[in-house]
Structure 1
Amino acid sequence: MLRTLIVCVFLVSNVTMAKADDELRQAMTFYASFDQSADADFAKGDRQIYTLDKFGGSKVVPGIQIEQAVWDSDDGRWGGSLDFRDNSESIVMFQGNQNMPYGDGFSATISFWMLLTPEIDLKPGYVDPIQVTDKKWNDASIFVDFSQENPRDFRLGCFSDYKHWNPTDIKWEELADSDRPLVTVKKPDFSRERWVHVVIVLEDMNREPSYARLYLDGRLQGTHLGPHQISWDPEQVRIMLGIKYIGRLDDLAIFDRALTLKQIRQLAEFKGGLRDLLKHQ
């Protein structure tokens, strides 16, 4: 009797885990493990990695074309990673069309891992490990960044269309902190000694209410409450990586829904990274 009960519990547990994995797999729109190459393993849009000539530029060429950023087959969270070794005007990027969810009431989750000691590795100035937009940093833009001076804050920016969130065009320096569409983490626990899991959750963008949440290592750091109005030309959206960033970045994934806390923690539990999800398609 006991043996039968144990077998039943084991089977139910396996079925539950398989269902949870399948939900993540179905929600995934983009995934780059960086284990075999710099290109994405899976993408609903373009899998190719590109180099943009400069922020706001128009010249995009295939591959990583700058010496300051390299694909490294070793020393990732799992396998390889992107290694950003110095600042560059040019930017490594993926195309956002179909890879980054968008539409009326869209939700999305962006998950990735970072390895750096900000106070040692970063040069003065704002640093964006990832930024998604078709315009500028303060106009219909989603990003995480480090503040420009030590000790560094880590921040989630969820900027609506510029005229929506700043209709009277107040200078950034004159805006109260409460009027800036940011979630700020003081003294973030980043280190060269351990990888940190970063997750951005967007829920019901372009509707009311809407939410932007930042998680570090499975813990909620803060929420920015909308309304958020984001107007993109999907064909022009860019997923830009390593803007003035010096450090490693690994296992970048995007999902077409707002993942729950349980699902976010599940992302970190795969022994081989999210490649394990793709192995069981």
Structure 2
Amino acid sequence: MKHTQFYSSSVIIIIICLFAFTSCKQETKSNDQNSQPDEEKKEETEEKSDYTALKNALTFYASFDNDVEANFALGDKQMYTVPSRKAKDSAKVGLHKPDISIAKGKGKYGDGLLFTERSKGNIYYPSKGNIAYSKENWSGAVSFWLQLDPGTDLEPGYCDPIQITDVSYNDAAIWVDFTKENPRDFRLGVIGDREVWNPNPEGPDNENPIFLEKLKPVVKTPPFGKEVWTHILINFSGLNTQNGEASLYMNGELKGTRTNITTPFTWDLEASNIYIGLGYIGLMDELSIFSRKLTDEEISTIYTLQNGVQSIL
């Protein structure tokens, strides 16, 4: 009888232990399952936070999907076409150059803007509202993608994929360009008021030593290719102060910075425009402009976005 009672008691104790062990294991598993979503939610929250900061700084974005009208703009969303810069009164709303078109499915993301030849006339978006210009301490960033082989695609002459100014390349302008002869360098130009940096002009400005000294950085072997998309980002801060600087990033990597930019940038904002594709032949996509200098982390984020800038909208 004692043996039977002992056996029964032992069985009961074993069952209780097994139940307790199983409950602990299930609780641990449940905690592990609950902790994983929390970690994922944290990453998603941090990602959304990064996107929010970029979205709040965004002033203009054109994806070139289906149309040339900007997807987002604090100013005028429309693209304009003019026969020349001196004929701004003849500007037409929309894209009216047969050598430029929307290339279906050929963009970095979706469609892209295709330039097929060097021709007269310009296309642009107005700067007013789309660029956070300031007469005091002006900062910002310009981002876009290019696809071309500069050595075989470009026709002779300088080529500015983007040029932002109220007058010209040599007078209160921000741009990047390919030099006029092969092998072509890729340069960043952040050029202040011409009357200040070149008060006594002699010869063409694009050969003036004072002008050439302002073209920094110069990338001698730029990472472009016929079937390769290259990301370009111009980052600038402190313009119209004594501590202005501008940097060029390509594919998320810093290529160089020009510091001590003291020459003022005086704009007639109503006359300033964002010109694209000056002498350019190739594809362009995802033009976006921001109201402040971006961090290295934000530049990396833009470069690695899976669906382009529309991801942050």
Q: TM-score, normalization: structure 2?
A: 0.85
**Secondary structure at 1:191 match in 2:** coil
Please point out which of 118, 127, 130 is paired with 1:87: 118
Pairwise CA distance, 1:269: 2.1
Pairwise CA distance, 1:170: 4.6
Q: 1:15 to 1:133 in 2, by over 3 A?
A: same
Pairwise CA distance, 1:168: 3.7
**Structure 1 gap segments, 5+ residues each:** none
- Residue of structure 1 in register with 2:128 after alignment: 97
One-letter amino acid of the structure 1 residue matched with residue 217 of structure 2: V
Task: Quote the Cα distance in structure 1 between the aligned partners of 2:163 and 2:220.
Answer: 20
Task: Quote the Cα distance in structure 1 between the aligned partners of 2:297 and 2:202.
Answer: 39
- Residue of structure 1 in register with 2:52 after alignment: 22
One-letter amino acid of the structure 1 residue matched with residue 117 of structure 2: D
- Residue of structure 2 in register with 1:221 after alignment: 255
Would you say 1:118 and 2:153 are equivalent positions? no
Task: Quote the Cα distance in structure 1 between the aligned partners of 2:145 and 2:86.
Answer: 26
Q: TM-score, normalization: structure 1?
A: 0.94
> How far does the alpha carbon of each residue in 1:100-121 deviate from its partner, in whole angstroms, 9 at most, with x for none?
1201111111000000000000
Would you say 1:6 and 2:36 are equivalent positions? yes
One-letter amino acid of the structure 2 residue matched with residue 110 of structure 1: V
- Residue of structure 2 in register with 1:129 after alignment: 161
- Residue of structure 1 in register with 2:296 after alignment: 261
Task: Quote the Cα distance in structure 1 between the aligned partners of 2:101 and 2:221.
Answer: 28
Would you say 1:38 and 2:68 are equivalent positions? yes
Task: Quote the Cα distance in structure 2 between the aligned partners of 1:56 and 1:216.
Answer: 33
Task: Quote the Cα distance in structure 1 between the aligned partners of 2:263 and 2:202.
Answer: 18
- Residue of structure 1 in register with 2:94 after alignment: 63
> How far does the alpha carbon of each residue in 1:174-226 deviate from its partner, in whole angstroms, 9 at most, with x for none?
41676334321101110111100000011111012111111000011111121
Task: Quote the Cα distance in structure 2 between the aligned partners of 1:178 and 1:37.
Answer: 37
- Residue of structure 1 in register with 2:18 after alignment: none
Task: Quote the Cα distance in structure 1 between the aligned partners of 2:143 and 2:208.
Answer: 32
Structure (1/2) with the larger helix percentage: 2
Task: Quote the Cα distance in structure 2 between the aligned partners of 1:174 and 1:38.
Answer: 36
- Residue of structure 1 in register with 2:265 after alignment: 230
**Structure 2 gap segments, 5+ residues each:** 1-30
Count of residues in Structure 1 that have an aligned counterpart in Structure 2:
278
Task: Quote the Cα distance in structure 2 between the aligned partners of 1:61 and 1:148.
Answer: 30
- Contact 2:216/2:256 (CA < 8 Å) preserved in 1? no
- Contact 1:98/1:234 (CA < 8 Å) preserved in 2? no
Q: 1:246 to 1:165 in 2, by over 3 A?
A: same
One-letter amino acid of the structure 2 residue matched with residue 105 of structure 1: N
One-letter amino acid of the structure 1 residue matched with residue 246 of structure 2: A
